[in-house]
A = this chain, B = another copy of it.
């Protein structure tokens, strides 16, 4: 049974004053003699008084809580985003109410409702991959609850968001592959209708263009393709592929497997760059070159942004595009004289 915690009225009764006086003594609102103030404070300390945030919330209509919706925790990326968010919110004295959508839009909608019901002061959310409904997002905005989207956004709805600069990230990777002399660069695209998929593909195309290399349809594959493995194999054997840039690190590992089967040496015959900088990249052999999205910073930045919005509703609608970092490791061949 939860023990009753001592309240401001308990102190008031013990000292023959009113709760108001105790409140003012504790919060420094004047109107209380120095003597009484000290008396109250010392008794409060002695009894281990701790204010009840629930009562405060009810009155103030703010909960010092921010809601977070993430698709899942198991990818390293989201763990880092979460850590980044936590680092900021905990310092600012906010609690974190966390929900998972499991990449399922219905759960996402449910979570949104839950958070709204809980009267969180703001919401950070990564919308699920498959998203075609936006009523719940609209509802959040209508409710006046500050909202910042993280990592993914949709053009269907005008919200502030913080994302990684996928275009530049992809561009830098493919640009690098070109620089070290790759002539046939394979790209494996991510899930459809995700802005990240689109932007990374654009970055790939732009880098090719910069180096006056043609875009070859047959070198662009889709991760959702059930025959993906077959098609990669085909690419590697028929099209003299000497470079690969994949939507994710895990897709890069698929290439590792096939290369090993086909006795293709990485990086001597094939340079590979993945995306996301999962920790596994540095443990696998050869260590995988990849694009780091600074997820911790992304989380921290979203949280800072949201806190700003909470404290000043007039803060401008903004879009933050976070720089990526190209991590070159053993999976890219080394050239002596770099162009």
Binding site for B on A (CB under 8 A): 1-5, 50-55, 57-58, 61-63, 72-74, 76, 79-80, 82-83, 86, 90, 95-100, 113-114, 116-119, 121, 142-145, 250, 253, 256, 260, 279-280, 283-285, 313
Q: How many copies does the complex hold?
A: 2
Interface of A (DSSP majority class): mixed
Q: Contact: A95 with B73, CB < 8 Å? A: no
Q: Contact: A95 with B118, CB < 8 Å? A: yes
CB distance from A108 to the nearest CB of B (A): 12
For A283, list chain B residues within 8 Å (CB): 250, 253, 280, 284
For A253, list chain B residues within 8 Å (CB): 283
For A79, list chain B residues within 8 Å (CB): 73-74, 79
Q: Contact: B280 with A2, CB < 8 Å? A: no
Rounded to whole angstroms, the CA-CA distance of A53 and B100 in the bound complex is 20
Closest partner residue, chain B, to A119 (CB atom): B54
For A3, list chain B residues within 8 Å (CB): 142-144
Q: Contact: B63 with A72, CB < 8 Å? A: no
Rounded to whole angstroms, the CA-CA distance of A311 and B250 in the bound complex is 43
For A83, list chain B residues within 8 Å (CB): 72-74, 100
Known: A79-B73, A82-B73, A98-B98. A143 touches B5 (CB 8 A): yes
Task: List 17 A-B residue pairs with CB atoms under 8 Å apart, sorted by A's residue number.
Answer: A2-B61, A2-B145, A3-B142, A5-B143, A50-B113, A54-B54, A58-B58, A74-B76, A74-B83, A76-B76, A90-B100, A95-B97, A279-B280, A280-B280, A280-B283, A283-B284, A284-B284
CB distance from A107 to the nearest CB of B (A): 9
Q: A54-B54, A96-B97, A98-B98 are in contact. List 4 more A-B contacts (CB 8 A).
A: A2-B61, A50-B113, A51-B117, A55-B58
Rounded to whole angstroms, the CA-CA distance of A5 and B116 in the bound complex is 10
Among B52, B73, B114, the residue within 8 A (CB) of A73 is B73
Q: Contact: B280 with A1, CB < 8 Å? A: no
Closest partner residue, chain B, to A62 (CB atom): B2
Q: Contact: A1 with B118, CB < 8 Å? A: no
Rounded to whole angstroms, the CA-CA distance of A260 and B142 in the bound complex is 60
Rounded to whole angstroms, the CA-CA distance of A244 and B73 in the bound complex is 31
Among B1, B5, B86, B250, the residue within 8 A (CB) of A98 is B86
CB distance from A220 to the nearest CB of B (A): 24
Rounded to whole angstroms, the CA-CA distance of A152 and B80 in the bound complex is 23
For A142, list chain B residues within 8 Å (CB): 3
Rounded to whole angstroms, the CA-CA distance of A323 and B5 in the bound complex is 39
CB distance from A105 to the nearest CB of B (A): 16
For A53, list chain B residues within 8 Å (CB): 117-119
For A52, list chain B residues within 8 Å (CB): 58, 119
Rounded to whole angstroms, the CA-CA distance of A276 and B139 in the bound complex is 42
Q: Contact: A86 with B62, CB < 8 Å? A: no
For A5, list chain B residues within 8 Å (CB): 143
Known: A52-B119, A97-B97, A100-B83. A2 touches B73 (CB 8 A): no
CB distance from A5 to the nearest CB of B (A): 7
Closest partner residue, chain B, to A55 (CB atom): B58
For A80, list chain B residues within 8 Å (CB): 74
